[in-house]
Structure 1
Amino acid sequence: MRSDSSVQAKERRGALRLLGGYVLRDRGLLTRALLLLLLATAADVTGPVLIKIFIDDHLLAGDFAPGALALLGGTYLLTQTAAAWLRYRQTLRFSEMALGAVLDIRKRVFARVLRLPLAFYDRAITGQLVSRITNDTEAIKDLYVQFLSVVLTNLVLLLGIIVAMALLDLQLMLIALLLVPSVVGVIYLYQRLSGAAVSETRQLRSDINASISESIGGMPVIQACNRQQGFIDRFDGLNVDYYRARMRSVRAGAMLLRPAIDLLSVLVLTAVVWGFGLQVQAGFAEVGVLYAFLNYLSRFTEPLAEITQRFNLYQQAMVAGARVQQLLQESEETWSGAEARVERGAVCFSAVDFHYDPGKPVLRQLEFEVPAGGFYAVVGHTGSGKSTLLNLLLNFYQPVAGEVRIDGRPLPAFSQAALRAGIGLIPQEPFVLAATVRDNIDMGRGLPMAAIEQASMRAHLHPVVAALPQGYDTELGERGTRLSTGQRQQLIIARALAGSPRILLLDEATSSVDSETEQVVQQALAELHGEVTLIVVAHRLSTVRQADRIVVMSHGEFVEAGSHDELMRIPGGLYASMYRLQLQAHRIEALERP
């Protein structure tokens, strides 16, 4: 229990830090909303007082003077109309605050997500991130509109009712006031019982979103492996856990919120009627006062019930705010380099060690040097550290020991913009926007059309684009469905070349394309040879036969290096064995082809 309480207290502190900043930022709107609220409350509580005057001074006294009744009736209508209009304006102000806060929070969270280092995504789950950006920020909006607005409105209304009660009858007001500490106790007990369940509910909702995202993204594999029932069972388990957590919260609310408040209000009403009866016996009671008190007491109970019922939203918003605040506190990538540019493209790894997890080395004392304009290939079995080498060169991760240099400068000497402009990446899995060909090549860089077309020609994509209905303005659909796998890879090559990089990295760029597309990639590499520095990580060894130098990795170390012909002459060499195996596989495939 103590551990749960400390977690909940930490969540509240994180959420309050986040939300408190927006309350301070929007204090002008909040002040106007509170002013409208005070005026609306004053107009609202005036109604029963006017009816009390009508009952005691006119109805019971038999005084039905038209002028006085018209004035009393007109004043009543005016105050109630004013109260309704003022509450409408006040609701708009709170909604404006809420939507403005959510707008800014979503912008901040999404911007932070895009700037987080890749190491964060090694442990992050896509569905949970989506849930934080959408569901959790929506819960924060409910805090403003459904909780803050309701609580402030009802607190001010309570104060107005108490003041009106005190002016009418101080003794009866003190009896009615007994309801307040009772309700505070109910709220405290509700928070203690429901807090852990609400926190678990938010986490399970994120897990459900993550499960849906993962299942949809991997649908071909799930169906190919006939694993539909396994994913259904896992999803059902999450749903059952979510149902149970929600039911724990609902039970606490069903027991403590409305029923408890209704019971307490009946007891207080009984006490007020009893007190009024004593006044009748004493001979100084007024019927109008009883009517006003009964009217106020019904209004007195309703705000307390509203406040307690909104504490469920408060719990959810606190948990959501804490989750959003936790994401906003994740450390961004820091770049302290100057605006040094990648001019020649010479690359050097000097005694580089690296690991993702301590005690599990991925690269060991790596020495690797590529001259400007060179064509170097890195090959090896899966898990040997090839892609990690490229990640270090892109500064996605930093070496544990040693140094990576470009043009003789260490990577920290370059700004993010300079490094990204100087290095082009062609990944294994093409990332294609649901946009036009032009947009996919440009990627928001504002490149001229001539540069886009030239890059497309160098990637041998231009004939494909010319055959599309709207050319470079053709919408490609989600994940580039209008293009084949090989054409998508050519699109990514064109995107990389459009920025005129000095270093071009290819990470298994031909592993999932056909032989024809591989030849196109080989031709593009041959044309770029000498113009830019090429570092190609390849599984298909035929792609890199023409490389100046091929290095073979095994368990994070270079075990062989040389040209294709040199490596093929090494007796029992790893590269030669890999090449012969692939060549044999290609021959078998060719024989089986019709």
Structure 2
Amino acid sequence: MALAVAVQLAYPKALAYFIDNAGKGREAAWYGTFFLAALAVLVLQGFAATLRYYLFQSTGYMIVTSIRRQVYAALLRQPVAFFDQHHVGELTSRLAADAEELHDALSMGLSIALRCLIIVAGAAAMLLAISPALCLVLLCYTPLSMLLSAWSGKRLKARARAIQHGQAEAGKVAHEYLANARLVRAFGQYRRAQQHYEAATASALQTAIASTRLFGAVRGVSSFLTYFALLLTLGYGAHLINQGTLSIGELTAFIIYAAMATESAGMVNDFWSDWMRTVGATERLFEMIDSAPPPEPEAGGAALAGQFAFDCVSFRYPERPQHLALDKVDFRVSAGQKIALVGPSGAGKSTIASMLLGFYEPEAGRVLFDGRPCPAHAARAGIAIVEQEPALFAGSIHDNIAFALPGRSASRDEVAAAARLANAHGFISAFPHGYNTEVGERGVQLSGGQKQRLTIARALLRNPAILILDEATSALDAASETQVQAALERLMEGRTTIIIAHRFSTIVKADRILVMQDGRIVQQGRHEELIRDRSGLYFDLMQHQLNSGSGLTFGQSMREAHTLSECQT
């Protein structure tokens, strides 16, 4: 940059020298020497300009890539409550669009600004050397330009922040509808999806137009000041030539230097305005980096034995602080026990699973493992979960099962052994690419039963001490449920298991059933004990399920009806 600017600053002086000497009857060799020297300097400047562009652009890409990685790492470290409050579409929009704003400012914007600062300093020195008197004319330009830059910078920063917020909101809407593209198509909601996106982008568009209007006005005023200063310089320079204190070549060089200085100063002002907009657009990125908790240490220490307890735990979700999700929940589970959680929707069953996994901190009370408090990351190392909606990544079957083991790669034999236990090896082997088969986004290429068996294989590979089954078979047909249930039986062998279910056919063999309502445990015991209490919530829930026939096969309904009838008798 310094080399390129030095050559650029030499142009006007060389031009003045040429103008003042061209009419003095120089020989042809003088002209040839002058142009050859000028050509060599041009080649040198071209080489320097190429290096300057490459170095600034590549450095800008490296910086922005580093920032993107830091933001992504910060997002991964955020507590689960953070994702309850922020939409994934908003976060991915900020990760992509906001960081790109920073690249433009750090690469070409910063390069041009630094180059212009050097040009301003060099041109000012040359101007003083040519004519100190003419320099006084330019003094009117500098303070006005600085005031204009300071006035516009704050306003552009605020509007840039609003623009990025609007774009993040639009990204959230787009992500939501695109993620549910099948539902949009099934219900013919194209117009609704389009209208929601147009409404989300309208605010950002208006703010962007207003910001562009302000930026354009600032550019216009800055341009006027620049050329007005040059006009005054030209008029006063003509007066000095008439007095014989300045040559035509010197005035030409002075005008060029003045143009370079004022134009470069204007570009520095423009960069400042752009930088303020960039700061406004990207400050949310750095807020996320700064607010992220430190990385969790690698899980280590003694493995869990499988015993845990909720010691008078109370909890409220951050988004619903007025409502107690858990109200003084107190129970203990011995290693190897199978505990079922039942109750109406919103009773707190899934909240217990979230607390067990350390996704949230209790408002009061403690969650104990093997009789003592345990850091969340260490407890999670001994826990696996199989959910109602299987969570799969858009990768291969092998990668999705091997996801169970952090810190090391699972071998194909380990993955295949887990798949066999989960009744998944057969259908996996039937695929042309076997374990390398791509499952698609969220496992869209697989059936519900196949996806569920992959998640069971993943849990088996993890070999946890504590297992959480969250409505693991509620969305399956009878044929798929039979295979999944057989895999679950193998998975539960010898493990402490928490079973969350509405379908009582899946939990009647539990060692203990906890009946929940409004965040509290209102009943607990075995199925045979609870069903005898006709005034209890468990009896009502069982009777409602049998009456509705929901989620039970004919044979299951008959068996449950027989059990209920015996208890009533």
TM score, norm. by length of structure 2: 0.91
Partner of 1:475: 438
**1:30-429 paired onto structure 2 within 5 Å:** 37-56=1-20, 58-60=21-23, 62-222=24-184, 228-257=190-219, 259-332=220-293, 339-357=300-318, 358-412=321-375, 416=377, 418-429=378-389
The Cα of 1:393 is off from its aligned counterpart by: 0.9
Is 2:524 the partner of 1:561?
yes
SS in 2 for 1:553: strand
Q: Which moved more, 1:339-348 or 1:156-165?
A: 339-348
Give the Cα separation in 1 of the matches to 2:132 and 2:114: 24
Q: Which moved more, 1:224-233 or 1:191-200?
A: 224-233
Give the Cα separation in 2 of the matches to 1:114 and 1:155: 40
For structure 1, list consecutive stretches of 5 or more residues without a partner in the other structure.
1-36
Is 2:479 the partner of 1:516?
yes
Is 2:505 the partner of 1:542?
yes
The Cα of 1:359 is off from its aligned counterpart by: 4.0
Question: Letter of the aligned partner of 1:345 in structure 2?
Answer: G
Q: 1:97 to 1:534 in 2, by over 3 A?
A: same
Residue pair 1:158, 1:303 contacting (<8 A) in 2 also:
yes
The Cα of 1:206 is off from its aligned counterpart by: 0.8
TM-superposition CA deviations, 1:262-306 (whole Å, max 9, x none): 322332222112212221332233111122123223333432333
SS in 2 for 1:190: helix
Q: Percent identity?
A: 30
Give the Cα separation in 2 of the matches to 1:491 and 1:157: 64
Partner of 1:22: none
Residue pair 2:77, 2:295 contacting (<8 A) in 1 also:
no
Equivalent of residue 505 in structure 1, options 452, 468, 475: 468
Give the Cα separation in 2 of the matches to 1:225 and 1:323: 37
The Cα of 1:380 is off from its aligned counterpart by: 0.7
Question: Letter of the aligned partner of 2:310 in structure 1?
Answer: F
The Cα of 1:454 is off from its aligned counterpart by: 2.1
Question: Letter of the aligned partner of 2:269 in structure 1?
Answer: T
Question: Letter of the aligned partner of 1:314 in structure 2?
Answer: W
Question: Letter of the aligned partner of 1:341 in structure 2?
Answer: A
The Cα of 1:335 is off from its aligned counterpart by: 5.4
SS in 2 for 1:284: coil
Question: Letter of the aligned partner of 2:9 in structure 1?
Answer: V
SS in 2 for 1:360: coil
Partner of 2:564: none
Q: Give every structure 1 segment of 4 or more consecutive aligned residues whose post-TM-superposition deviation is greater than 6 Å.
A: 587-591
Residue pair 1:342, 1:406 contacting (<8 A) in 2 also:
no
The Cα of 1:435 is off from its aligned counterpart by: 1.3
Give the Cα separation in 2 of the matches to 1:285 and 1:343: 90
The Cα of 1:373 is off from its aligned counterpart by: 1.1
The Cα of 1:337 is off from its aligned counterpart by: 9.9
Residue pair 2:149, 2:273 contacting (<8 A) in 1 also:
no
Q: 1:337 to 1:401 in 2, by over 3 A?
A: farther
Give the Cα separation in 2 of the matches to 1:49 and 1:436: 67
Give the Cα separation in 1 of the matches to 2:212 and 2:118: 28
Residue pair 1:373, 1:532 contacting (<8 A) in 2 also:
yes
Partner of 1:31: none
- Count, aligned residues: 549
TM-superposition CA deviations, 1:181-209 (whole Å, max 9, x none): 22222222322443322221111111111
Q: 1:532 to 1:324 in 2, by over 3 A?
A: same
Residue pair 1:355, 1:363 contacting (<8 A) in 2 also:
yes
Q: 1:167 to 1:314 in 2, by over 3 A?
A: same
Question: Letter of the aligned partner of 1:519 in structure 2?
Answer: T
Q: 1:135 to 1:336 in 2, by over 3 A?
A: closer
Q: 1:239 to 1:464 in 2, by over 3 A?
A: same
Question: Letter of the aligned partner of 1:491 in structure 2?
Answer: L
Question: Letter of the aligned partner of 1:107 in structure 2?
Answer: R
Q: 1:344 to 1:192 in 2, by over 3 A?
A: closer
Residue pair 1:197, 1:246 contacting (<8 A) in 2 also:
yes
Question: Letter of the aligned partner of 1:101 in structure 2?
Answer: I
Give the Cα separation in 2 of the matches to 1:240 and 1:359: 34
Q: Which moved more, 1:353-362 or 1:493-502?
A: 353-362
Question: Letter of the aligned partner of 1:549 in structure 2?
Answer: R
Please report the RMSD computed on the Cα atoms of aligned residues, expressed in angstroms: 2.3
**1:424-503 paired onto structure 2 within 5 Å:** 424-443=384-403, 445-503=408-466
Give the Cα separation in 2 of the matches to 1:277 and 1:338: 80
Give the Cα separation in 2 of the matches to 1:336 and 1:316: 38
Residue pair 1:261, 1:301 contacting (<8 A) in 2 also:
no
TM-superposition CA deviations, 1:429-465 (whole Å, max 9, x none): 2111111111110016412323212221222112221
TM score, norm. by length of structure 1: 0.87
Residue pair 1:146, 1:313 contacting (<8 A) in 2 also:
no
Q: Which moved more, 1:432-441 or 1:77-86?
A: 77-86
Residue pair 1:45, 1:160 contacting (<8 A) in 2 also:
yes
Question: Letter of the aligned partner of 2:65 in structure 1?
Answer: L
Give the Cα separation in 1 of the matches to 2:176 and 2:431: 32
TM-superposition CA deviations, 1:388-420 (whole Å, max 9, x none): 1011111111212222122222223x7x2x423
The Cα of 1:87 is off from its aligned counterpart by: 2.1
Q: 1:84 to 1:174 in 2, by over 3 A?
A: farther
